[in-house]
Amino acid sequence: MPHYPPEPFRIKMVESVRLISRPEREAALRTAGYNLFALNAEDVFIDLLTDSGTGAMSQEQWAGIMRGDESYAGARSYQRLARVVQEIFGFELFVPTHQGRAAENILANLLIQPGNQVPSNMHFDTTEGNIRARGGLPVNLVIDEAYDPQNRHPFKGNMDIAKLTAFIEATGVENIPFGSITVTNNAGGGQPVSMENLRAVADTYHRYNIPFFIDCCRFAENAYFIKTREPGYAEKSTREIAREMFDLADGTWMSAKKDAIVNIGGLLAVRDPRLFQQVCNQLILREGFVSYGGLAGRDLEALAIGLEEGLEEDYLAYRLGQTAYLANRLLEAGIAVIEPSGGHAVYVDAGRLLPHIAPADFPGQALSAALYLEGGIRSVEIGSVMFAHPDPETGKMVHPRLELVRLAIPRRTYTQSHMDFVADTFIKIKESKDGLRGFRFTYAPELLRHFTARFEPV
DSSP string, 259-300: TT--SS-EEEEES-HHHHHHHHHHHHHHT--TTTTTS-HHHH
Quote the CA–CA distance of 123 and 110 in Å, as a whole number.
Answer: 18
Residue 267 near ligand F0G by CB under 6 A: no
Query: Residues 83-102 vs ligand F0G: string with x where CB under 6 A?
Result: ----------------xxx-
Quote the CA–CA distance of 269 and 90 in Å, as a whole number.
Answer: 10
Contacts of residue 274, defined as CB under 8 A and 6 or more positions apart, other chains included, come to none
Quote the CA–CA distance of 151 and 93 in Å, as a whole number.
Answer: 39
Which SS3 state, helix, strand or coil, does residue 428 take?
Answer: helix
Residue 50 near ligand F0G by CB under 6 A: yes
268 vs 357, which CB is nearer to ligand F0G?
Answer: 268
How many other C-beta atoms are found inside a 10 Å radius of the C-beta of residue 108?
A: 23
Q: Nearest distance from residue 248's CB to ligand F0G, in Å?
A: 18
Residue 182 near ligand F0G by CB under 6 A: yes
126 vs 191, which CB is nearer to ligand F0G?
Answer: 126
Residue 124 near ligand F0G by CB under 6 A: yes
Quote the CA–CA distance of 321 and 331 in Å, as a whole number.
Answer: 15
Residue 127 near ligand F0G by CB under 6 A: yes
Binding test (CB under 6 A) with ligand F0G, winner from 186, 191, 197, 365: 186
Long-range Cβ contacts of 293-296 (<8 Å, 24+ apart): 293/95, 293/96, 293/97, 293/98, 293/102, 293/266, 294/96, 294/97, 294/98, 294/102, 295/96, 295/97, 295/98, 295/264, 295/265, 296/68, 296/70
Residue 299 near ligand F0G by CB under 6 A: no
Amino acid at 112: I
Residue 197 near ligand F0G by CB under 6 A: no
Give the total residue count for the chain: 458
Span near ligand F0G by CB under 6 A; candidates 109-117, 122-130, 395-403, 446-454: 122-130
Q: Nearest distance from residue 241's CB to ligand F0G, in Å?
A: 19
Quote the CA–CA distance of 221 and 95 in Å, as a whole number.
Answer: 23
| DSSP 8-state code for residue 417 | H
Query: Residues 387-426 vs ligand F0G: string with x where CB under 6 A?
Result: ---------------------x------------------
Query: Residues 201-240 vs ligand F0G: string with x where CB under 6 A?
Result: --------------x-x-----------------------
Backbone angles phi, psi at 96, to 5 degrees: -75, 150
- 345-349 and 404-408 strand pairing: antiparallel
Quote the CA–CA distance of 28 and 250 in Å, as a whole number.
Answer: 46
215 vs 221, which CB is nearer to ligand F0G?
Answer: 215
Residue 191 near ligand F0G by CB under 6 A: no
DSSP string, 103-118: HHHHHHHHHPPTT-EE
Q: Nearest distance from residue 422's CB to ligand F0G, in Å?
A: 17
Q: Nearest distance from residue 380's CB to ligand F0G, in Å?
A: 7
Binding test (CB under 6 A) with ligand F0G, winner from 55, 129, 211, 266: 266
Binding test (CB under 6 A) with ligand F0G, winner from 132, 257, 378, 411: 257
Nearest to 100 by CA among 222, 247, 205, 213: 213
Q: Give buried/exposed letters for 325-342 (b at 16+ CB in 10 A, else e).
A: bbbbbbeeeebbbbbbbb
Span near ligand F0G by CB under 6 A; candidates 33-41, 119-127, 147-155, 317-325: 119-127
Size of the site for ligand F0G (CB under 6 A): 16
Binding test (CB under 6 A) with ligand F0G, winner from 52, 61, 323, 379: 52
Residue 379 near ligand F0G by CB under 6 A: no
Q: Nearest distance from residue 308's CB to ligand F0G, in Å?
A: 19
Residue 120 near ligand F0G by CB under 6 A: no
Q: Nearest distance from residue 368's CB to ligand F0G, in Å?
A: 14
Residues at the interface with ligand F0G (CB under 6 A): 50, 52, 99-101, 124, 126-127, 182, 186, 215, 217, 255, 257, 266, 408
